[in-house]
Amino acid sequence: MLDIKFVRENPDIVKQNIKNKFQDSKLVLVDEVIELDRRNREIKGEVEALRSARNKASKQIGMLMGQGKKEEAEAVKAQIAEDASRIEALSEEEKQVEADLKKKMMIIPNIIDPSVPIGKDDSENVEVMKYGDPVVPDFEIPYHTEIMERFSGIDLDAARRVAGNGFYYLMGDIARLHSAVISYARDFMIGRGFTYVVPPFMIRSDVVTGVMSFAEMDAMMYKIEGEDLYLIGTSEHSMIGRFIDQILPEETLPLTLTSYSPCFRKEKGAHGIEERGVYRIHQFEKQEMIVVCKPEDSKMWFDKLWQNTVDLFRTLDIPVRTLECCSGDLADLKVKSVDVEAWSPRQKKYFEVGSCSNLGDAQARRLGIRVNGSDGKKYLAHTLNNTVVAPPRMLIAFLENNLRADGSVAIPKVLQPYMGGMTEIK
């Protein structure tokens, strides 16, 4: 959410940003917000004037009564009553105006970084760098679920009977590999100075609306019936929510955290949920990294975060590339985003396995996360997040890139301690 003062003083910049994101239907919101803001300040001014007049009038009543001017005193009382009624009406209008203002402000997208390429959708994202040499072996790579089934490692049919499409049972060495990757990612991030956290897997609605846009909320979140609780779509939600309405001492920043959680997503409007695979599903597990920092440090941390993911995948012998997300592919709260994509030897192309995002002060403004500066002045923190690793997408990349001609799967050295010393899956 933008600062209302910024919108008031820079309407053309806000409108151009909306155009750059190809959301022209939201242009009208800028003028509506400015008008609501004008009316809100007008109401506050009138209420303040009426209260000031009431205080002065109240003092007059005693003086007039003491002078025997009863009729004049009654007239002042009548005026006070009339003003009180007017204040009450204005206060009700103020609540409605502020509610409408906040709702519209939360729909206006955040100002994107000047470095973000302008484009309509993900087809116009820009490749930044490739890491590792993509290899296409001289033998056929089966579909990822076929590889898993060869090891009796997955049961989609039973999951469909139990929960429907978009769920799975992982078993045996494949289930062990899944847990090993998560554990390795946890320790990898701890080794880079991040604090490990296991957060709540459900959050209240005020946190949901603080960390994401209404459109994302509708497309992703599962609500608990009869409760003001939602299942998280990523641990970023509860991790950032941890600091709601908090004033953080500047000397404690940056906060560098890595969190584990299951994730639950409706995937509303998404394609591929019916496919016999685990690329897009309703439930998965993920290791995440989150940073809360000073505004001047957020660009530096952004580059560090996506580099962490690249480095982790390379230790597992998986070629990756980074993509700069274009303006039309950025969620409304994001200032800048880079996707990390892993090489798929079967498809002979890269596919997304993680996304790194700088949200500027958007989440902090919505959630009231402030920093107490060394000079005593308070300011909004910046928040960032990035995927460390998210099985089962990681499993797809891992199995395809480590599959051998004889059908076995090699276990990279860094992962072997987490697999009980196993060097391969046969």
- Dump pLDDT digits (tens) for 108-157: 999 999 999 999 999 999 999 999 999 999 999 999 999 999 999 999 99
Task: Give all domains of the chain, ordered by start, each with its CATH number.
Answer: 4-105 (1.10.287.40), 122-425 (3.30.930.10)
What are the Cα distances from residue 85, in Å, to 30, 42, 163, 174, 206? 32, 17, 57, 70, 33
Look at strands 409-410 and 126-131 and give their pairing. unpaired
Give me the mean pLDDT over the 266-283 stretch.
74
- pTM for this prediction: 0.90
User: What's the mean pLDDT when you consider all of the chain?
Assistant: 93
pLDDT at 73: 72
Give me the mean pLDDT over the 381-391 stretch.
96
What are the Cα distances from residue 345, in Å, to 62, 136, 138, 148, 320? 89, 5, 10, 16, 12
pLDDT at 54: 77
| Pairwise CA distance, residues 50 & 54, whole Å | 6
Residues of the chain with pLDDT > 70, as a percent, come to: 96
| Side-chain half-sphere CA neighbours of 363 within 13 A | 31
Give the residue, 268 or 320, on which the prediction is more confident: 320
Q: Which value, in Å, is the radius of gyration of the alpha carbons in the chain?
A: 28
pLDDT at 113: 97
pLDDT at 274: 52
Phi, psi of 398 (to 5 degrees): -65, -50
Hey, how many other C-beta atoms are within 10 angstroms of the C-beta on 5? 9
- Per-residue pLDDT tens over the stretch 211-270: 998 888 888 899 999 999 999 999 999 999 999 999 999 999 999 999 999 999 998 755
- CA 368 to mean position of chain CA atoms: 15
| Pairwise CA distance, residues 178 & 90, whole Å | 59
Nearest Cα to Cα of residue 325 among 356, 292, 289, 348: 356
Residues of the chain with pLDDT > 90, as a percent, come to: 84
For residues 321-358, b (16+ Cβ closer than 10 Å) or e, as one string? bbbbbbbbbbbbbbbbbbbbbbbbbbeeebebbbbbbb
User: Which amino acid is present at 299?
Assistant: K
